[in-house]
């Protein structure tokens, strides 16, 4: 098992050292907008615990993370009036993981609209703020 790097970008976001567009938080989890979205409303849900990926996560962390993912997914679908939601989670470089703090992608989806390429275009901060507000308003 590779050691967790406390200086990864998501750890810095969790500590408040880097800005983000927060959309949800609870005692164990945090959700914010992906700055390089594959579609409108693309956000990330991360556990607060210092865990590299699902291969390192204990059952107790996953049991607390899954309800947060579902809450964010429902709010993202509602906030964007989407037709569906894609949920993705990558593990280790061979599995497509780039940031080594466990995270789950939640992406609102629309019939006939393909996802954009991963990590390709940085979204404008004002668009991220607008999209975050749509999701925040949809929590109920």
So which residues are the catalytic ones?
Answer: 103
* Cα atoms found within 13 Å of the Cα of residue 119, Cβ hemisphere only: 4
**Whole-angstrom Cα distance, residue 57 to residue 109?**
28
Q: Which two tokens stand for residue 87?
A: 């949920």
Q: What is the DSSP string of 88-104?
A: E---TGGGT--SSS--E
**Whole-angstrom Cα distance, residue 108 to residue 22?**
17
């Amino acid at each position: 098992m590779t050691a967790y790097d406390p200086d990864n970008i998501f750890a810095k976001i969790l500590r408040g050292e880097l800005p983000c567009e927060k959309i949800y938080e609870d005692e164990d989890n945090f959700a914010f907008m992906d700055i390089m979205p594959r579609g409108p409303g693309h956000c990330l849900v991360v556990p607060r615990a210092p865990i590299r990926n699902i291969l390192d996560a204990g059952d107790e962390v996953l049991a607390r993370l899954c309800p947060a993912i579902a809450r964010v997914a429902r709010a993202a679908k509602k906030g964007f009036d989407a037709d569906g939601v894609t949920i993705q989670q990558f593990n280790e470089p061979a599995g497509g993981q780039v940031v080594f703090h466990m995270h789950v992608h939640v992406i609102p989806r629309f019939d006939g609209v393909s996802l954009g390429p991963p990590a390709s275009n940085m979204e404008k901060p004002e668009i991220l703020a607008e999209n975050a507000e749509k999701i925040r308003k949809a929590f109920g």
